[in-house]
Amino acid sequence: MSEFEQYRSLFVAESRENHENLVNNLLVLEKGTDQNAIDEIFRSIHTLKGASASMGFADMERLCHTMEDVFQLIRNGSAEVSEELGNILLACTDLIEEMLDDVEAGGDSSSKNPNEQIQALRAWLKEQGVTGKEKTEPPCRKEAETNTPEEIQSAASPAADSGPEFTMTIVVSPDCMMKDVRALIAIQNLEALGTILSLKPSKEAIDEGEFDGTVHLTMVSDAGEEALRTAALGTEIATVEIKLLETPASLPTEPLLAKKAAEPDRKQPAAPDKNREIKNLRVDIVQLDHIMNLVEDLVINRGRLKQISEEHKIKEMDEAISMVERSVSELQNLMMAIRMIPLSHIFNRLPRVARDVAQYDHKDVEFVMEGGETELDRSVMDGLNDPLLHLIRNAVNHGIEAPEIREKAGKPRKGLVRLSAHRDRDNVIIELVDDGAGINVEKVKKKAVEKGLITAEAAETLTADQAIDLLFQPGFSTADKITDISGRGVGLDVVKRAIESLKGTIKVETTPGKGSTFELLLPPTMAIVDVMIVRIRNKRLAIPISSIVEVANFKKDGMHRIGNGEVTMIRDEVLQILWLNDMVGSSDRCEILIVIQYQKRKCCIPVDAVEGQQEVVVKPLSGFIGTTKGISGVTILGDGDVVPVLDVNTMQE
């Protein structure tokens, strides 16, 4: 990977963080003036502008510069963010996101022309009576740029350190892709060794990208010529010229030194700690996935070693394997913790979705998020963005009524959509609740009959839950007309497929006139799980421990038939019996019942024997096999046996 490509990936990663911060704080300003949000926006825009200028992405730099001009007025209290300006700024953030996508794909963002957004911002500035760029720039920057080197020298001289005076010329290599960053690093290193009396161009000008690659400076230092040269030199620095002035004009005189001694409060700033420890690293997710695969191999071989140890009964081997087992367990737990990501990473993008849909539909909606600190494995997180996007669009578009309708129904004009997440045992539950009109079951049945999904006779016999399940059929929509938001029948079917592909489930509860709740139940990870190994007709099966409620004796005389199924009584509960005849064949020796639970429904599986509990690596089924109902994947045990892992979520459907 070239050095520029390394800079590119770093630029994209940091710019996306600033972009997300920018969007979130713009949404905060729509609710009212917030000085902290304004400061955060200004900081993010300024950082984006400087980074894009350093990388040579001129179009992005122009757009950010104009946005900075706008927010300079807002920060000074000369203007406020109106709805019209908010829409323009959010359109700018959308374009910045597209530019970042282009840069990440290897482009230079020039394919995304920002002229339309820039003209809209300039038109707003003109309305505010701003005719020149200089009126919107920070006073500190203007002052720094108008001062001459002599003025800077004059201002700096009274606080200068004692020692010889040097003039230096630093030339950054023409091949350097981030000349300003490289120059600022050299300047920072020199500041640690003395006092810079004059600097051309100024730090502010370098930071703004007004830099041709050459820095001229004068400084006082007693570190010596070689120390200064070493501090200024580095990768991508072409030349460093140093000249000692014979009669340093800026050396403090004796009276000045005496005055300085009499003013102990005027201290020079402490030199920055150049040996600061690096505490955080950015790691490519591909490398983490590779490490995870290696950890999975260790878990499989740990089981194999443990089995060999039990067979041969070698004391020394048992002790060694115990140490290895402990290390592998710690490594596995550490790796799982590293892969866990807070849900806030995707939650933070969703307020913008709710805001845009509400504005499109002319609705007043308050969007609330809770539980963003709840963590999920990255493999689960990757597939969750689209389902949440569809659910929020659905809640605002279909669930929340228009303000006038809500008012007539005795509700507040502003609707509420709440997205929350929490842990329940080993699973993560995400709920999306709205206080809208709820799901009109009769309308759902009518639409299903119109689209030919069911007959009119079958529709009359459907329960409310069965009718709601129709919402997840491909091509189904209750919208009366097609709009940019809904009506094409693409949405909830996508949600269900995506959640099921993550081995999760979705449940819907609704109350007419009160609102609806969509509940997503997701596994925290899809890689390594605790299972119970059971046998039926000498064939092994693995059942996730998180789904097992208890293990009980199977009394066949307590079995009863109800309709086409069979049930048994356990602890005063009537539980359905799930025979796995289609999977492993029928067995007459079943003496044990494994009671499992899916959401709030319990059932039991008869098995011949229970071998024990162990951690296994679940591998997905091959694409040649496809998805199999009741099977989430396979695992390889220590003796090399390939065992299917039951998917309790789909067994009871």
* Cα→Cα distances 129→122, 132, 272, 478, Å: 11, 9, 43, 49
Please give the structure tokens belonging to residue 513: 């006139």
3-state secondary structure of 466: helix
Residue 155: predicted pLDDT: 36
Q: Looking at residue 432, what is its pLDDT?
A: 93
Does residue 273 belong to any structural domain of this protein?
no
- The one catalytic residue among 61, 68, 165, 375: 68
For residues 502 and 543, membership in a common domain is answered with no
Q: Residue 146 belongs to what domain range?
A: 141-251
Q: Which residues pair with 646 in a beta bridge?
A: 631
Taking a C-beta distance cutoff of 8 angstroms, is the pair 533, 612 a contact?
A: yes
154 and 133 within one domain? no
Residue 64 maps to a domain: yes
Beta strand pairing call for 528-536 and 548-553: unpaired
pLDDT tens per residue across span 595-642: 988 766 788 999 999 988 887 877 777 655 656 677 878 888 777 788
Residues 490 and 534 in one domain: no
Mean pLDDT, the chain, as a whole number? 79
Which residues lie closer than 8 Å to 329 by C-beta, 6 or more apart? none
Count of structural domains, the chain: 5
Handedness of CA 140, 166, 237, 211 (dihedral sign): positive
pLDDT at 274: 43
* Pair 592, 553: CB distance under 8 Å: yes
CA angle, corner 82, sides to 80 and 88, nearest 5? 110
Q: What pLDDT, on the 0 to 100 scale, is given for residue 419?
A: 93
Distance in angstroms between the alpha carbons of the first and the last residue of the chain: 50
Q: Which of 341, 356, 373 lies at the terminal end of a domain, its last residue?
A: 341
- b/e map 225-264, b = 16+ CB within 10 Å: eeebeebbeeebbeebeeeeeeebebbbeeeeeeeeeeee
Both 110 and 147 in one domain: the answer is: no
3-class DSSP state for residue 171?
strand
Token pair for 619: 């591998």
Same domain, 59 and 167: no
Q: Calculate the CA 604 to chain-centre distance.
A: 39
Region at 599 (left for phi over 0; alpha for psi -120 to 50; beta for the rest): left
157 located within any domain: yes
Q: For the residues 87-95, what does the mean pLDDT come to? A: 90
Is omega for the bond preceding 201 within 30 degrees of 0, making it cis?
yes
CATH number at residue 75: 1.20.120.160
**What is the rounded distance in angstroms from the CA atom of residue 6 to the CA atom of residue 259?**
50
Whether 269 is covered by a domain: the verdict is: no
CATH number at residue 155: 3.30.70.1110
pLDDT of residue 479: 62
Tens of pLDDT, residue by residue over 261-316, are 444 444 444 444 444 455 566 677 788 878 888 887 888 888 788 888 888 888 88
Q: What is the pLDDT of residue 416?
A: 92
* Tens digits of residue pLDDT in 38-52: 888 888 888 888 888
395 and 462: one domain?
Answer: yes
Q: What is the pLDDT of residue 533?
A: 92
- In 3D, which of 403, 393, 304 has the Cα closest to residue 350? 393
Same domain, yes or no, for 376 and 450? Answer: yes
Is the confidence at residue 394, as pLDDT, over 50? Answer: yes
Whether residues 124 and 239 share a domain: the answer is no
* CATH for 510: 3.30.565.10
- At 401-453, the pLDDT tens digits run 999 999 998 999 999 999 999 887 667 889 999 999 888 888 888 888 887 77
The residue with greater pLDDT, 384 or 135, is: 384
What is the structure's pLDDT at 594? 92
Q: Is 77 in the same domain as 33?
A: yes
CATH number of residue 564's parent domain: 2.40.50.180
DSSP code per residue over 560-613: EEETTEEEEEETTEEEEE---HHHH---S---EEEEEEETTEEEEEEESEEEEE
pLDDT in tens, 443-483: 888 888 887 778 888 888 888 888 888 888 776 766 655 55
pLDDT for 134-182, tens place per residue? 444 443 333 333 344 333 333 333 333 457 888 999 998 887 777 787 8
Are 524 and 343 in contact by the 8 Å Cβ rule? The answer is no
Active site annotation includes 311: no
More confident of the two residues 215 and 55 = 215
- Residues 504 and 536 reside in one and the same domain: no
68 part of the active site: yes
- pLDDT tens-digit profile of 518-557? 999 887 665 677 889 999 988 899 998 888 889 998 887 8
- CATH number of domain containing 331: 1.10.287
Catalytic status, residue 394: yes
Q: What is the pLDDT of residues 129-141, one digit of tens each?
A: 765 444 444 433 3
In a domain, 267, yes or no: no
Asked whether residue 259 is assigned to any structural domain, the reply reads no
**For the chain, how long is the longest CA-to-CA vector?**
110
In a domain, 440, yes or no: yes
For residue 547 the two structure tokens come to: 């789904």
Which position among 19, 46, 390, 398 bears the catalytic label? 46
Select from 522, 544, 560 the last residue of a domain.
522
Active-site residue, selected from the candidate residues 18, 21, 394, 649: 394
Note whether 403 and 501 are same-domain residues.
yes
User: Which of 100, 115, 137 delimits the end of a domain?
Assistant: 137
578 & 588 share domain: yes
Residue 279 lies in a domain: no
**Secondary structure tally for the chain: helices H, strands E:** 24, 22
